[in-house]
Amino acid sequence: MSERVTWLPPGAQAPGPSLPDPAPEPQRGVRRLLAPIVVALGLVLKYAKFALLFAGKAKILTTSGTMLVSIAAYSLIWGWRFAVGFVLLLLVHELGHVIQLRREGVEASAPMFIPFLGAVVSAKSLGDDAAAEARVGLAGPVLGTLGAIAVFALGEQLDSELLRAIAFTGFFLNLFNLIPLTPLDGGRAMAAMSPWMWFLGLFLAVAFAFAFPNPIIILIVLVGAMDTFRRWKAYRNGGEEGRSYYRVRPSTRLLVLGVYLGLIAVCVLGMDVSHIQRTFSDV
C-alpha cells in the first residue's frame, strides 16, 4: 500500500488538526445587544431635530415628525408594530379634541406627540363656558374609545393577539384620561359638573401614583395639583364673571355625566374582554 506524501517548501510546517474558532468575546455580545438601541436613539434624535426645525412652518410636518419620534421611542420597548398601532390610537384620540374645538369655533393646532407623555393640542381657549370645555374634553375619549373598539373587532376577526393588546392599551389610555383632574380629559368634563370634583380627581391621582409609582404619573399629579389650585383660586376670586363660566344647565350637566359614566363603563368592559392572560410558560 502506498502512502500519499505532501510536498512542503523549506521551513514550512505540516498542517495540524483544525482548531475550533475562539469563543466570542463578551464585549461582542454586548455590542450586538446595544447596536439596535443606539440606532433607535439616533433615529429619535434625528427626527426630534427635524420636528423642531419645521414644527413652526407646517402643521403636517409637526404631526408626522413627532409621530415618527414617538414611534421610534416606543419601539425601543414594545417593538415597531405595537408602537405604530399605539401612536395611531393616540392620533385618533387627539383628533376628537381637534374636531370638537373647531365645532366650538376655536382654532386648534395639529396634534403634537411627546414620547411617553402622549400628545397635545394647542388652542387659545376651550370654548365659551364649562359646557363647551366638557364637550371638548370628552370628545377625545369618545373618538379614542371608538378607535379601540374598531381595533379590538379587527383583532377578533383576524385572531390577532397584537391587535387585542393594542386595543387593551387604547381602552386603558382613555380610561386613565377620564380621571377627574385637569389637564386630563376627565378634569375638563368635571368643569361642567362641579369644580369640587377636581379635588376628588387629585386624590384619585395621588392614590394611583402610590399604587403604581411611575415618574410620568408623578409628573401628571404635580401638574394636576398646580392646575387644580390655580383654577380653584380663579373660581373663588373671579367674581361674577368667573362663576358665570361654570354655570351649566341641569340638562347639560346630566348629559355630561351620562357620557362620562358611559365611557368609563365601556373602557372597563373593553379592557376586560381584550385582556390577554399570560403565564411564565408563555414568555
Per-residue tens of pLDDT for the chain, all 283 residues = 444 444 444 444 444 444 444 444 444 544 554 454 445 445 545 544 444 444 445 555 577 788 888 899 989 988 899 999 999 999 999 999 999 999 988 888 888 888 877 888 888 878 888 899 999 999 999 999 999 999 999 999 999 999 999 999 999 999 999 999 888 899 999 888 887 888 888 898 888 888 888 888 888 889 889 988 888 888 778 666 667 888 889 999 999 999 999 999 999 999 999 987 654 344 3
Give the pLDDT score at 264.
Answer: 96
| pLDDT score for 3 | 44
Which domain, by its residues, includes 103? 34-282
Locate cell 397584537: which residue?
Answer: 162
pLDDT reported for residue 174: 95
Give the per-residue pLDDT at 134: 93
108 inside domain: yes
How many angstroms separate the CA atoms of 91 and 62, rounded? 13
Instruction: Let me know if residue 40 belongs to a domain.
Output: yes
148 occurs within a structural domain:
yes
In a domain, 11, yes or no: no
Q: Please tell me the chain's helix, strand, coil percentages from 3-state DSSP, rounded to the nearest 5.
A: 70, 5, 30
255, part of any domain? yes
Tell whether 17 is covered by a domain. Answer: no
In a domain, 103, yes or no: yes
Preceding omega of 10 cis (within 30 degrees of 0): no
27 Cα distance to chain centroid = 35
- Tell whether 254 is covered by a domain: yes
Number of structural domains the chain divides into = 1
CA dist., res. 216 & res. 256, Å (int): 28
Q: Taking the chain, what is the end-to-end CA distance rounded to the nearest angstrom? A: 61
Closest among 156, 204, 152 to 182, alpha carbons compared: 204
As given in the structure block, the three cell numbers for residue 165 are: 393588546
3-state secondary structure of 192: coil
Phi, psi of 180 (to 5 degrees): -75, 60
Residue type, 86: F
Q: pTM (2 decimals)? A: 0.72
Task: Find the angle CA(25)-CA(29)-CA(33) to the nearest 5 degrees.
Answer: 160
CA-closest candidate to residue 134, choices 254, 270, 268: 254
**What does the block give as the cell for 136?**
371638548
Dihedral pair phi/psi, residue 181, rounded to 5°? -140, 125
pLDDT of 205? 86
The crossing angle, in degrees rounded to 10, of helices 130-158 and 80-103 is 150
Distances (CA, A) of 214 to 90, 144, 206, 275: 20, 24, 11, 22
For residue 16 the three cell numbers come to 495540524
- What is the structure's pLDDT at 211? 85
